[in-house]
Amino acid sequence: MEHWGIRLRVPGVRADAGPRSTGWLLILTATAALSVIMLGGCQLVPARRVAYHLATALAPAPSQAVPAVVSPATPTPPAVPSPALPTSPLANPAANLPDTFTAICSATPDALSAACEQAELTALVRAGQQEGLSQLPLPADFLTLPAPEQMFVLINEERLSRGLLPIQGLTAGADQQAAAAAQAGSDPPMGGGIVAGNWAADFGPLGAVYDWLYNDGWGGTRGTTTNGGCTADGAPGCWEHRSNLLLQASGQHLYAGIGCSPWAGAKGMAALDSCALEIGTVVGASPTYSYAWSQVVTPG
């Protein structure tokens, strides 16, 4: 597959983790144990960067059994953080992290199944813990929320855990654009206040967020790199999707649109969904939200 893209820069909008952009991620599953992931690049106004990505999904989830805790006879040195993880929650990881949910999710009939989403949440929490982040304080009804609202809540909790302001809410107009992009399997449109966005065909909204945050860099070879805009270690297109999720806009409110639908290219894999995210900025009064962050009640 060829890779293509356009970069955009917007005054007053920045992402500490890298260039702002929109992109898409695609998983084409050949078997239940082996998947090919495609992550598309990202775009921002007035110029646009769109790339796309390919990679193999990684090994089945390890056993969840927890060994008994035994006090050591002598003091042990502190655990050494994984070298693949960033030294700061806003920095990019040094390398992709393997997911541990592909085998579980590929065996489920629905990306929103409890088994799949619990496996994805476990992977997200473990990765966050290695970054030094706190637990994700998700609302009690999180697993019953529609896919777009799950993605919105999860992205905001990831942002808050890194000291960033939350996206204020979803708007009906942005949701409609994102839903159309999800149904078409393409990047959401830019312009009209929309400054960044991602598209993914993945194991639902939680799988997409994990891959955007932790599986968006150089994989060692072109064939094992999920991000098509990441053509070499340290190339400008690496970690573009993560950059979008951690977007900041000085003096502006952030709002979003999210749409998810069954992916037409799933090739028999019922758990693969197509999801599109777009993020917009507005100065002054906030728009009318179809689902506002102020509505979300999380523990603590």
Residue-wise pLDDT for 101-124, tens only, equals 999 999 998 899 999 999 999 999
> pLDDT by residue (tens digit) across 38-75?
555 444 332 222 222 222 222 233 333 333 333 333 44
Question: Hey, what are 236's tokens?
Answer: 């400008």
The overall longest dimension of the chain from CA atoms, in Å, is: 63
Q: Determine, yes or no, domain membership for 205.
A: yes
Q: Which DSSP symbol is given to 205? A: H
Q: Determine, yes or no, domain membership for 6.
A: no
Q: Are 218 and 232 in contact (CB under 8 A)?
A: yes
Q: Determine, yes or no, domain membership for 207.
A: yes
Q: How far is CA 224 from CA 33, 39, 53, 183, 227, in A?
A: 15, 12, 9, 27, 9
Q: Strand 22-29 relative to strand 194-202: parallel, antiparallel, unpaired?
A: parallel
Q: Which range marks the domain in which residue 108 is found?
A: 13-60+85-295
Q: Determine, yes or no, domain membership for 168.
A: yes
Counting the structural domains of the chain, the total is 1
Concatenated DSSP letters of 282-297: E-SS----SEEGGG--
Q: Determine, yes or no, domain membership for 90.
A: yes
pLDDT, residue 8, reads 29
> pLDDT by residue (tens digit) across 233-265?
888 888 999 999 999 988 889 999 999 998 877
CA distance linking residue 171 with residue 34, whole number of Å:
37
With H, G, I as helix, E, B as strand and everything else as coil, classify residue 115: helix
Q: Determine, yes or no, domain membership for 238.
A: yes
Q: How far is CA 275 from CA 71, 77, 222, in A?
A: 46, 43, 24
CA distance linking residue 219 with residue 54, whole number of Å:
10
Q: Determine, yes or no, domain membership for 80.
A: no
Q: Are 271 and 117 in contact (CB under 8 A)?
A: no
Q: Determine, yes or no, domain membership for 71.
A: no
26: confidence class by pLDDT, cuts 50, 70, 90: low
Compute the average pLDDT of residues 197-211. 93
